[in-house]
Amino acid sequence: MPIENPDTSSLPAPRPPESLSVVVDLLVHTGSLLLQHGADAARVETSLQQMEPGLSIDRIDAVVMSKTILLTVTRQDAHHTRVARVPIVGINMNILNEVEQLLGLFQQGRVTPGQLEMLLQRIATLPHNYSRGVVVVAVGLACAAFCRLFGGDWAALAITAVAAAMATWVRMWLNRRQVNYFLVVLLTALTASLVASSALWLSQTPQSALTAAVLLLVPGVPLINASVDILHGYISAGMARAITSLVVVLGIALGLGIVVRLFQVKL
């Protein structure tokens, strides 16, 4: 969707929101779309504050947590408050970029509040840039490259690629069935480690294969967001993200540890 020049001619031009409840719904939709796809708390709050001039309101008070948005909108003597829980879908930089560009057009007055809501709905349904097959292959190759950096031989590299690709497919399959997030981490790490353990008989550097195969689970973006949130004063949101990342790391360690203990591997 070319967000730089949206085709607003095909969209009806509804009146600006007349009630605070409609304004709050629009703000919550915008903030939720940013938060659930990987934006840090400061970025979400700043984006909401920038929408204030175009919504004919006097003030926005927003509290952004790791999975919750609390909003109070004020117009003259009227107030409207809403608390929204935000399901975390996963990192999607394409959607974040599209929303940021759309908000820029809204600030310039090129998009009305009604059109903004419709375009946000379109962005929320955008397909992923890459198919599941491409993602599976790409993750496998990426982990194989790390194996090579860790000093793995060619057999370990090939085994790592297969192990990481299979683990990625398992993670996607479990996510589609809405399995508990932390259980997904554990089962994915266990799958990657079990497949990579074949390097014990086929490679001279099995440790490199076992170590690199689980790197697809490392919570890089959540850890960065946790640091950013804490540095910007969003202590609760930052600590929640940090603890979640720590539990993910523990899940990786447990899955890998089971295989290491089972086969008596010395890493």
Please give the Cα distance from 214 to 202 (Å, whole number): 19
Does 110 share its domain with 187?
no
| 99 is a domain residue | yes
Closest CA to 34 of 117, 94, 80, 122: 94
Question: What was the pLDDT predicted at 204?
Answer: 92
Does 105 share its domain with 38?
yes
Question: What was the pLDDT predicted at 9?
Answer: 53
| 232 is a domain residue | yes
In the chain, where do the E strands start and end? 59-64, 68-75, 78-85
The distance of Cα 31 from the centroid of its chain, to the nearest Å, equals 14
Does 144 share its domain with 259?
yes
Instruction: State what percent of residues in the chain have pLDDT above 70.
Output: 93
Q: Which of 79, 100, 124 is the last residue of a domain?
A: 124
Does 205 share its domain with 232?
yes
Cβ pair 118, 168 in contact under 8 A: no
Question: What was the pLDDT predicted at 76?
Answer: 82
Does 138 share its domain with 237?
yes
Does 95 share its domain with 167?
no
Please give the Cα distance from 142 to 84 (Å, whole number): 37
Question: What was the pLDDT predicted at 214?
Answer: 94
| 3 is a domain residue | no
Does 115 share its domain with 212?
no
Residue 261 CB-half CA count within 13 A: 7
Please give the Cα distance from 138 to 142 (Å, whole number): 6
Q: Which of 75, 107, 124 is the last residue of a domain?
A: 124
Using a CB cutoff of 8 Å and minimum separation of 24, what contacts does 127-135 make?
Answer: 128/92, 128/94, 129/94, 132/169, 132/172, 135/168, 135/172
Does 141 share its domain with 193?
yes
| Residue type, position 239, single letter | M
Positions of the chain with pLDDT lower than 50, given as ranges: 1-2, 12-17
- Residue range(s) defining the domain that contains residue 21: 8-124
| 144 is a domain residue | yes
Q: How many domains is the chain built from?
A: 2
Does 136 share its domain with 240?
yes
Does 73 share its domain with 111?
yes
| 1 is a domain residue | no
Does 93 share its domain with 193?
no
Question: What was the pLDDT predicted at 7?
Answer: 57
Does 73 share its domain with 45?
yes
Question: What was the pLDDT predicted at 212?
Answer: 94
| 199 is a domain residue | yes
| 48 is a domain residue | yes
Tokens for 164? 């990481």
Q: Which of 71, 105, 124 is the last residue of a domain?
A: 124
Please give the Cα distance from 64 to 266 (Å, whole number): 44
| 2 is a domain residue | no
